[in-house]
Amino acid sequence: MQSNEIYYQNADGMCEMINPDEVLQLSDVVDIQPCFTHEMTINSLTEESDAIIIGNIKEILYSSDEGMPWTQLKISLDECIYGNIDTDTVILFDMGGYIDVDTLRNNYLYDEIDSKYKYAYIDCFQNDKYQIGDSGIFFCKKRK
Protein backbone atom coordinates (compact mmCIF):
# COMPACT_ATOMS: atom_id res chain seq x y z
CA MET A 1 0.00 0.00 0.00
CA GLN A 2 1.17 3.50 -0.80
CA SER A 3 0.98 6.03 2.04
CA ASN A 4 -1.35 8.36 0.11
CA GLU A 5 -3.80 5.64 -0.98
CA ILE A 6 -6.92 4.80 1.00
CA TYR A 7 -8.21 1.22 1.15
CA TYR A 8 -11.53 -0.25 2.24
CA GLN A 9 -11.86 -3.89 3.28
CA ASN A 10 -15.24 -5.26 2.22
CA ALA A 11 -17.25 -8.02 3.95
CA ASP A 12 -15.46 -10.68 1.87
CA GLY A 13 -12.10 -9.51 3.22
CA MET A 14 -11.02 -8.05 -0.11
CA CYS A 15 -9.36 -4.62 -0.15
CA GLU A 16 -10.14 -2.03 -2.76
CA MET A 17 -8.67 1.41 -3.25
CA ILE A 18 -11.04 4.31 -2.58
CA ASN A 19 -11.38 7.03 -5.21
CA PRO A 20 -11.78 10.35 -3.32
CA ASP A 21 -14.23 11.57 -6.00
CA GLU A 22 -16.62 8.77 -4.98
CA VAL A 23 -16.73 9.70 -1.29
CA LEU A 24 -19.64 11.49 0.38
CA GLN A 25 -18.64 13.48 3.48
CA LEU A 26 -21.62 12.44 5.59
CA SER A 27 -21.19 15.45 7.90
CA ASP A 28 -22.11 17.62 4.88
CA VAL A 29 -25.53 15.90 4.78
CA VAL A 30 -26.43 15.12 8.40
CA ASP A 31 -25.37 16.36 11.83
CA ILE A 32 -23.16 13.70 13.41
CA GLN A 33 -22.50 13.88 17.13
CA PRO A 34 -19.88 11.92 19.10
CA CYS A 35 -21.20 8.70 20.63
CA PHE A 36 -19.62 9.10 24.05
CA THR A 37 -21.41 10.89 26.86
CA HIS A 38 -18.41 11.32 29.16
CA GLU A 39 -15.39 13.55 28.80
CA MET A 40 -12.26 11.76 27.66
CA THR A 41 -9.31 12.91 29.75
CA ILE A 42 -5.82 11.43 30.21
CA ASN A 43 -7.02 10.01 33.55
CA SER A 44 -10.17 8.41 32.11
CA LEU A 45 -8.27 7.03 29.11
CA THR A 46 -5.63 5.53 31.41
CA GLU A 47 -8.24 4.00 33.74
CA GLU A 48 -10.08 2.39 30.81
CA SER A 49 -6.92 1.09 29.07
CA ASP A 50 -5.43 -2.39 29.30
CA ALA A 51 -2.19 -1.07 27.79
CA ILE A 52 -0.58 2.20 26.73
CA ILE A 53 1.95 1.98 23.93
CA ILE A 54 4.29 4.18 21.94
CA GLY A 55 4.56 3.24 18.29
CA ASN A 56 4.42 4.12 14.60
CA ILE A 57 1.47 3.72 12.25
CA LYS A 58 2.51 1.26 9.52
CA GLU A 59 -0.84 0.70 7.81
CA ILE A 60 -4.35 2.17 7.82
CA LEU A 61 -7.35 0.20 6.60
CA TYR A 62 -11.05 1.08 6.69
CA SER A 63 -13.86 -1.42 7.15
CA SER A 64 -17.28 -1.83 8.72
CA ASP A 65 -18.69 -4.24 11.24
CA GLU A 66 -22.43 -4.58 11.83
CA GLY A 67 -23.01 -1.33 9.95
CA MET A 68 -20.47 0.73 11.88
CA PRO A 69 -17.41 2.19 10.15
CA TRP A 70 -14.02 1.41 11.71
CA THR A 71 -10.47 2.63 11.13
CA GLN A 72 -7.92 -0.16 11.57
CA LEU A 73 -4.39 0.90 12.49
CA LYS A 74 -1.40 -1.42 12.30
CA ILE A 75 1.06 -0.09 14.88
CA SER A 76 4.74 -1.02 15.06
CA LEU A 77 5.39 -1.17 18.81
CA ASP A 78 8.34 0.84 20.13
CA GLU A 79 7.53 0.62 23.82
CA CYS A 80 4.76 -0.55 26.12
CA ILE A 81 4.58 1.97 28.97
CA TYR A 82 1.60 0.42 30.75
CA GLY A 83 0.24 -3.12 30.69
CA ASN A 84 1.74 -6.10 28.94
CA ILE A 85 2.09 -6.43 25.16
CA ASP A 86 4.23 -9.33 23.94
CA THR A 87 4.25 -8.62 20.21
CA ASP A 88 6.02 -6.21 17.87
CA THR A 89 2.82 -5.23 16.03
CA VAL A 90 -0.52 -4.16 17.47
CA ILE A 91 -3.78 -3.79 15.54
CA LEU A 92 -6.05 -1.03 16.89
CA PHE A 93 -9.59 -0.15 15.84
CA ASP A 94 -11.04 3.34 16.13
CA MET A 95 -14.72 4.09 15.47
CA GLY A 96 -15.40 6.04 12.31
CA GLY A 97 -13.92 6.19 8.85
CA TYR A 98 -15.10 5.08 5.43
CA ILE A 99 -18.14 2.86 4.86
CA ASP A 100 -19.55 1.61 1.59
CA VAL A 101 -22.76 3.39 0.59
CA ASP A 102 -24.77 0.14 0.32
CA THR A 103 -24.02 -0.66 3.97
CA LEU A 104 -24.96 2.88 4.91
CA ARG A 105 -28.27 2.63 3.04
CA ASN A 106 -29.09 -0.79 4.54
CA ASN A 107 -28.28 0.16 8.14
CA TYR A 108 -29.26 3.82 8.35
CA LEU A 109 -31.94 4.19 5.69
CA TYR A 110 -30.22 6.99 3.78
CA ASP A 111 -32.06 6.38 0.51
CA GLU A 112 -31.35 9.71 -1.15
CA ILE A 113 -27.59 9.29 -1.57
CA ASP A 114 -26.45 10.29 -5.06
CA SER A 115 -25.44 7.25 -7.12
CA LYS A 116 -22.05 8.82 -7.94
CA TYR A 117 -20.92 8.00 -4.39
CA LYS A 118 -19.50 4.56 -3.60
CA TYR A 119 -18.34 5.38 -0.04
CA ALA A 120 -19.28 7.73 2.77
CA TYR A 121 -16.90 9.15 5.34
CA ILE A 122 -18.13 9.29 8.93
CA ASP A 123 -15.81 11.29 11.18
CA CYS A 124 -16.62 10.24 14.74
CA PHE A 125 -13.31 11.21 16.30
CA GLN A 126 -11.26 12.96 13.59
CA ASN A 127 -9.98 9.65 12.19
CA ASP A 128 -8.56 11.48 9.20
CA LYS A 129 -5.81 12.73 11.51
CA TYR A 130 -4.02 9.37 11.15
CA GLN A 131 -1.18 9.21 8.65
CA ILE A 132 1.12 6.30 7.81
CA GLY A 133 4.49 6.93 9.45
CA ASP A 134 3.08 8.99 12.33
CA SER A 135 4.31 8.21 15.84
CA GLY A 136 2.14 8.46 18.89
CA ILE A 137 0.96 7.24 22.24
CA PHE A 138 -1.97 4.84 21.91
CA PHE A 139 -4.41 3.86 24.67
CA CYS A 140 -5.42 0.22 24.09
CA LYS A 141 -8.40 -1.81 25.29
CA LYS A 142 -8.54 -5.54 24.60
CA ARG A 143 -11.50 -6.96 22.68
CA LYS A 144 -13.89 -8.98 24.76
The structure's pTM equals 0.77
Q: What is the bridge-based pairing of β-strands 97-100 and 119-122?
A: antiparallel
- Which of 26, 77, 38 is CA-nearest to residue 55? 77
Residue 74 has pLDDT above 90, yes or no: yes
pLDDT at 52: 95
Average pLDDT over residues 24-52: 73
Residue 37 has pLDDT above 60, yes or no: no
Stated as kind and residue range, the H or E segment containing 104 is helix 101-108
Q: What is the bridge-based pairing of β-strands 51-65 and 68-82?
A: antiparallel
pLDDT tens-digit map of 77-123: 999 999 999 999 999 998 888 888 888 777 766 667 788 889 888 87
